[in-house]
Amino acid sequence: MATPAKKKGKKNPEKKTNKSDTKAFRPEKEEKINLKMIARDERTWKIVGAFFLLIALFLFISFVSYLFTWKGDQDIAQQGLSGLWGSTEPAENLLGRLGALISYFFIYKAFGLASFLICTFFFVVGVNLLFRQKVFSIWRNLKYVTGGLLVLSVSLAFLFGNSDFAFGGAVGD
């Protein structure tokens, strides 16, 4: 096979580039993040609303599970945050050590059984954000939850004061 003949002439070691070639290799400029646009986006509010609903569901499941497993999870929960990673003992709570720790804090150390009202607050906020309209009044729910936490925890502690279970929590005592 024959090889093509080389052209004789000056070789220019520097190639001249066209302007169109340089534009093709320039990196694209990144768009600046506009927080106002993110806050106005409907998807953002749906994600935040779904997150609030998941928090409400998580709290509800951990609270209900605590009603049945509070004696077994007492040792893990009293260790505090070190009980999440430091202990090898399995938690009986349906949501594991984190569920045991959170439910211990809200039910034993805070408001007792009135802590279930916190789930309703997260639910109301989540539904309103998810559907982007006022399904429930957040401020009315906040007033009822705040009053209910105080009244129910004190009332339950008064009614069931001699019980092993902290019906009124530390606020009721």
The 3 state secondary structure assigned to 31-59 is CCCCHHHHHHCHHHHHHHHHHHHHHHHHH
Structure tokens at 62: 């951990």
18-71 pLDDT tens trace: 555 556 667 777 778 888 888 888 899 999 999 999 999 999 999 999 999 999
Every domain of the chain and the residues it spans: 39-172
Angle at 61 between CA 59 and CA 65, to 5 degrees: 115
Query: What is the rounded CA–CA span in Å between residue 138 and residue 30?
Result: 39
- Answer for the pair 102, 59: CB distance below 8 angstroms, yes or no: yes
Q: Report pLDDT digits (tens) over 72-121.
A: 999 888 888 888 887 788 899 999 999 999 999 999 999 999 999 999 99
- pTM for this model (two decimals): 0.78
